[in-house]
Chain A
Amino acid sequence: MQRQVLSRRLLAGLGIAVLAGATFATNYSLWINGRTGGGVAGNYADFSYWGPAGTAAGVNKKAVNWDGYNHISDQNYLIRNALDCYCTGTNWCYVAAHSAGDLMIGYTLSLYGGTSRYKKNATPGTDGSCANSDGTTQTGWNIKWVNVAAGAGGGSELANAGDWALSEPLVSDLKTGTARALYDHNNTRAKMFYMWAGAKGTLYSFVLPGQDDEVVAYHSSGGISGSGGGSYCNPSDWFCNDLTLGTAAAQGGKAKWSNHSVAFRDNGEAYNHYANGNWQGVVGLVRNDMVSFAK
C-alpha cells in the first residue's frame, strides 16, 4: 500500500513538473525582509529571517532575501530578480514586506515599476535569477497587492539620532528625511499597500514620536505622507492625532501616501516590531492575512 502511494506521488510529481514547465498561471507569495536580513540571498526557500519554513504564509511562498545591511539601491537587484522570476508572464504575486522591506518594495515599484521586464520561467538558479520564458517582455510586474508589517518606508528616528551603527549603510537610508526623499511613495503603480502598525514600544518612546513598535513610529508604519516624521497615536490618547484606519487622512488632516491603507492599528499596544525568527509581532498578523487572502 505504502509503495503504491509512493509511486503515485512520483507520477504526480512528474506530471506537475511537466505542467510547471508549461505556461500555466501560478500565484506566488513573496516575502521581503527588513534590516538585519538572515536568509541566503537568492535562496527563495530560506525563511530563516521570518520563522520556520514549514509555516503557512500564503500560496507558493518565497523568501526574497537581501542582506538588510547595505543600501536599498545596492540590494535592489535581488528584489527585481524575484519579481521577474515569479511575477511576469502568466504568473502573479502577492507581496509581504517587513520594516525596511517596505522601503525596498516601494522603491522598486516607484522607480522600476514601469520598466520593461523579460518574462521569466519561475525556475531560479542558485543566484536567484531565472531564465527567459519566451523572449517577450512586459511593462512592470504582476502584483495584486502588498501587505506591510511595521513598514519603515517613512524611516525611523532611531536612524536620525545615531542610535544604530554608523558603519551600516542601510541606516543612512532609514533616516526619516532620506527614506522619504528616496522615491515618490505615492507611486505604487496602483497596487494597494495594506499597512499593519504595532504599538508595543516602550524603550525608545522618548525618541520615536507618538505610538511606536520599538523601531518605527506610526507615521511610518501607518504610511503618513510628508518629507519628515510626525506624531500619531491610538484614539485612546487625547493629546495626539489619531492614526486612522483605511486610506483616510490622519486626524489633523495629514494625508496618507496614495494607495496606502491602514489594515491594523494596535489599539491594545500588544505587538512589537520583531518577528523573533518565529513569525511573531506584527509579522504574525500579516502572515495570517497572507494565509487567508493570498491564494
Chain B
Amino acid sequence: MKPALWLASAALAGLLAWWAWPRTALLPEAVAAGGQHLALPAAAPLPAASRPQGSPFTDAALRERLAQRDMLLQRLERARLTLATYRAQTVYPHESRPIGQHPDQVHPFAPITESLPLRFPGTKAAVPGVRILTTQDRVFMSGEEVVKVSVSAQDEAGKTLPLLVTRAVAFDLPDPRQVAGRPQLALNFTGSDGVYSAQFQPSQTAFADFAGTLRLQVTLSQDGKQGIVNFDVVYQPLVPAEWGAISDRAAEGSLDFLVGLNVKQAGRYVVTARVDDTKGAPFALVTFNDELGGGAQVARLRVFGKLLRDGAPAMPLRLRDLQGFLLLQDRFPDRAMLARREGVVHRSASYPLKGFSDAEWTSEERDRYLAELGKDVSQLEGQLARPSGP
C-alpha cells in the first residue's frame, strides 16, 4: 500500500473509531481495581457547607481529583526512576561493566558454600542444633571436568561436630528425553578434621555419554541422627571448542582482549572474563555473546573506553578467570562448557588512558529506550501541568 493511501486509511479508521465508540462510561481497569504502589496521603478535610451537591467542587470530587493527582505523581516518580536508571546503567555497553555491578561474578570459580539442616526429605523437622556445611566447585561441566564436593557438620556456635558418611552414590535424575535409571555409582568420600570430600568425573564412569543432571547423594550420620544432602551437576559430554591464543589491542577508543577459539561446533558462544588492574584489584566484567562459525574464531572482550577513563585502572591490565560455553537454545542441558581457565590468562600492554574515548555508549537500542522512557516522563509531566489538572 502506498504511504499516502495508508495514512489516509489509518486516519479514517481512527476517526471512525472515535465517532463510533459508545459514549456510555466504561470503567477503566485501573479505576475498577483501585490499587496503588504507595499509600496515598489522606485527603485534607474540606468545609462542605459552601459547596452545592453535584458540583465539581464537592468534597468527594475534590478528594477524587487529589487522589488522581497523587497517582499521577507516583507514576511520574516511577517513570523518572526508570529513565534515570536506564540512562545510568547504559553509559557503558552491557558487555563491558564495572565489576562492582556484578558482585557475585568477581570470583566465579570459588566453591558454592551452603548451610543446611540435617534431615531426610519429607520429614517435618530437622535434627536440632546441627548444621551441615557443603561446598561444590561447579554446577555445569563438560568433557573431562571433575567436580569437587565436601560436607561437614557444625553446631549452632560454629564448632565442628563429628560426622559419618554412611552412603554416597551418583545417579541420573529422570529425564523424559532419555532412558533413566542407569546403575548408581558409589562415591568415595575421604575425611579429615571432620570435613569429608569427594571428586566425581563423569567421563570416567558409565555416565560418560550422558547429558543431563547427575545427583551426588550423600547420607550422613551425626551422633546417630541421619539425614541427606544432594549435590547436582549438569553434565554434557561435548566440549564444543578449545581455547586459543589471547592478544590485546586498542580499537575504536576501547581496549579489546581478543580470545582465540578453535570452534568444533558452531553456534552462540557466551564467553566471560574479569579484568583486574596491575595490582590485581578487580575492575571490570567483560562478556561476549554472539554466533561463531566453525574453525579458528575470535571472541572479542571489550573494555569500553569510558569505563577505562572513569575507573582509571593502573596498567597493564590482567585478564582473569576466563569461562565460556556454547549456548544450546531450547534444549537441556542448555550449554556445553569449555574448559575453565582459572587465574590470570593474559596481561595487556600498557596503554595511556588518555588514548581511550570518554564518550558514552551509543546504539540504536539505547536511543530507542531513552526516547520511549523520556516520552513517558514528558507525557506525565504534561498531564500534571495542565491548568484543569488530572
Which residue numbers of A lie inside 8 Å of B, CB to CB?
5, 7-12, 14-16, 18-19, 22, 55-59, 70-74, 76-77, 92, 111, 113-115, 138-140, 142, 144-145, 157, 160-163, 166-167, 169, 172, 175-178, 180-181, 184-187, 189-192, 206-207, 209, 225-229, 255, 257-259, 263, 287-289, 291-293, 295
In angstroms, how far is the closest chain A Cβ from the Cβ of B218? 12
**Closest 6 A-B residue pairs measured CB to CB?**
A288-B35, A15-B17, A56-B29, A73-B334, A162-B121, A11-B20
> Could you name 26 residue pairs across A and B whose Cβ atoms are closer than 8 Å?
A12-B16, A12-B20, A73-B328, A73-B333, A73-B334, A74-B332, A113-B94, A114-B94, A115-B268, A139-B363, A142-B368, A142-B369, A157-B116, A172-B215, A175-B230, A175-B232, A187-B94, A192-B85, A206-B125, A209-B115, A227-B112, A258-B89, A287-B35, A292-B30, A292-B35, A295-B30
A73, closest chain B residue (CB): B334
B289, closest chain A residue (CB): A114
Query: Are the CB atoms of B232 and A172 closer together than 8 Å?
Result: yes
CA distance A227 to B113 in the complex (A): 8
B103: interface (CB < 8 Å): yes
Q: Which of B95, B333, B334, B372 contacts A114 (CB 8 A)?
A: B95
B126: interface (CB < 8 Å): yes
In angstroms, how far is the closest chain B Cβ from the Cβ of A181? 4
Identify which of A71, A77, A92 gathers the most chain B CB atoms within 10 Å of its CB.
Answer: A71
Query: Are the CB atoms of A186 and B101 closer together than 8 Å?
Result: yes
B90: interface (CB < 8 Å): yes
Query: Are the CB atoms of B117 and A177 closer together than 8 Å?
Result: no
Query: Are the CB atoms of B94 and A291 closer together than 8 Å?
Result: no
B223: interface (CB < 8 Å): no
A14-B13, A18-B9, A19-B13 given; 14 more Cβ-contact pairs under 8 Å? A12-B17, A71-B334, A73-B328, A77-B329, A144-B372, A144-B376, A167-B174, A172-B234, A177-B232, A184-B287, A207-B119, A228-B112, A291-B30, A293-B75
Residues of A within 8 A of B17 (CB): 11-12, 14-16, 19
A111, closest chain B residue (CB): B327
Query: Are the CB atoms of B37 and A292 closer together than 8 Å?
Result: yes
Q: Which of A191, A206, A228 contacts B114 (CB 8 A)?
A: A228
Residues of B within 8 A of A140 (CB): 365
B144: interface (CB < 8 Å): no
CA distance A59 to B116 in the complex (A): 43
Query: Are the CB atoms of B213 and A172 closer together than 8 Å?
Result: yes
Query: Are the CB atoms of B112 and A181 closer together than 8 Å?
Result: yes
Residues of A within 8 A of B81 (CB): 192
Interface residues on B, range: 35 or more
Residues of A within 8 A of B114 (CB): 160, 176-177, 228-229
A19, closest chain B residue (CB): B13
In angstroms, how far is the closest chain A Cβ from the Cβ of B334? 3
B105, closest chain A residue (CB): A184
Residues of B within 8 A of A10 (CB): 20
Residues of B within 8 A of A144 (CB): 82, 372-373, 376
A226/B82 contact (C-beta < 8 A), A190-B90, A190-B94, A289-B37 known: no
Residues of B within 8 A of A288 (CB): 33, 35-37
Residues of B within 8 A of A292 (CB): 30, 35-37, 71, 74-75
Q: Which of A12, A14, A56, A58 contacts B32 (CB 8 A)?
A: A56
B16, closest chain A residue (CB): A15
Residues of A within 8 A of B126 (CB): 206-207
B140: interface (CB < 8 Å): yes
Query: Are the CB atoms of A139 and B16 closer together than 8 Å?
Result: no
Query: Are the CB atoms of B139 and A177 closer together than 8 Å?
Result: yes
A289/B35 contact (C-beta < 8 A), A15-B13, A160-B230 known: yes
Query: Are the CB atoms of B232 and A178 closer together than 8 Å?
Result: yes
Cβ < 8 Å to A, chain B residues 339-390: 363-365, 368-369, 372-373, 376
Residues of A within 8 A of B213 (CB): 172
In angstroms, how far is the closest chain B Cβ from the Cβ of A41? 13
B28, closest chain A residue (CB): A56
In angstroms, how far is the closest chain A Cβ from the Cβ of B378? 14
CA distance A71 to B174 in the complex (A): 12
In angstroms, how far is the closest chain A Cβ from the Cβ of B123? 9
CA distance A69 to B257 in the complex (A): 41
CA distance A166 to B19 in the complex (A): 59
Residues of A within 8 A of B140 (CB): 181
Query: Are the CB atoms of A180 and B104 closer together than 8 Å?
Result: yes
B159: interface (CB < 8 Å): no
In angstroms, how far is the closest chain A Cβ from the Cβ of B163? 18
B270: interface (CB < 8 Å): yes
In angstroms, how far is the closest chain A Cβ from the Cβ of B101? 5
Identify which of B122, B228, B270, B330 gathers the most chain A CB atoms within 10 Å of its CB.
Answer: B330
A139/B102 contact (C-beta < 8 A), A9-B20, A73-B331, A289-B37 known: no
Residues of A within 8 A of B122 (CB): 162-163
Residues of A within 8 A of B268 (CB): 115
Residues of B within 8 A of A22 (CB): 6, 10, 13
CA distance A259 to B140 in the complex (A): 26
B6, closest chain A residue (CB): A22
CA distance A111 to B331 in the complex (A): 14
